Structure 1
Amino acid sequence: MSTEIEETIVDNKKVKNERPEIAVGDTIKIGILLIEGTKERTQYFEGTVISIKSREGRKTIRVRKISQGVGIEKVFLLDSPRIVGIERKKVTKVRRAKLYFLRNLKGSKTKKLKDESWKLKS
């Protein structure tokens, strides 16, 4: 019994190591496993990371996107087994730990984060 638990802990550590390093301001695409009855599917959510919180070894990220003129924010637990994959799309330079000011911006002003995508290629 204890060997099964140890194997799952090792597997979880491998999955954590495979995930990219995420920072506030990055645009990410996160895949979530949805179970509807007997069917399983992956739903992707792409947006900007506006905050990262870590407490007692559990890390959560808050991701924001604009869909049809309405702001949508979701909080994801990074240790969740429902998260299939995370992909960094864009790296930006920010000088804040929390980007809650993006909630009040409208239109093209929300895209005024400094792009540093060249760091993603290395």
Structure 2
Amino acid sequence: MSFQILKNIADAQKKKAVVDVRSGDTVKVTQKIKEGDKFRFQVFEGVVIRVDRKESHTARIVVRKIASGIGVEKSFLLHSPLVEKIEVVKRAKVRRNYLSYLRHRSGKSARLVARDFDRAAVNTLKEE
């Protein structure tokens, strides 16, 4: 009985539509940040190195970018109300779900092989 109640609450918090994000994608994540009594939007662009629990209400992605020569990783919950939108910029050919090996690489060795994709079709929101 209590599990069903928790499932209903979790389903109510899920977003109705999310973008299909995969490991190796270069994404722009627009996040809502509260400062005082105002909200502002901040864009974080980088490579998705991990996708966790894709079908769950706790689905998350880990995005990595290089800022001033230092690697920065940030984790985003896909169904969070603070994540305004996610846009796929590039898609790469990868054979792993968790790209942890990119942490130890820099320069040309950290590049991923680009793959052609229909940007408009990928960035349309798909109902779950």
With normalisation by structure 1, the TM-score equals 0.81
Map of 1:53 onto structure 2: 52
Q: Identity, % of aligned pairs?
A: 38
Map of 2:71 onto structure 1: 71
RMSD over aligned CA atoms reads 2.4
Residues 41-120 of structure 1 aligned to structure 2 (within 5 Å) = 41-54=40-53, 57=56, 58-111=58-111, 113-120=112-119
State the alpha-carbon separation in 1 of the partners of residues 76 and 89 from structure 2.
17
DSSP-derived class of the 2:117 partner: helix
Aligned residues: 112
Change (3 A) 1:114 1:121: farther
Deviates more, 1:34-43 or 1:49-58: 49-58
More contact order relative to length (CA 8 Å, sep ≥ 6): 2
With normalisation by structure 2, the TM-score equals 0.78
Map of 2:37 onto structure 1: 38
Q: Answer yes or no: is the 8 Å Cα contact 1:59–1:79 preserved in 2.
A: yes
Q: Answer yes or no: is the 8 Å Cα contact 2:15–2:79 preserved in 1.
A: no
Higher relative helix content: 1
Which letter does structure 2 place at the counterpart of 1:107?
G
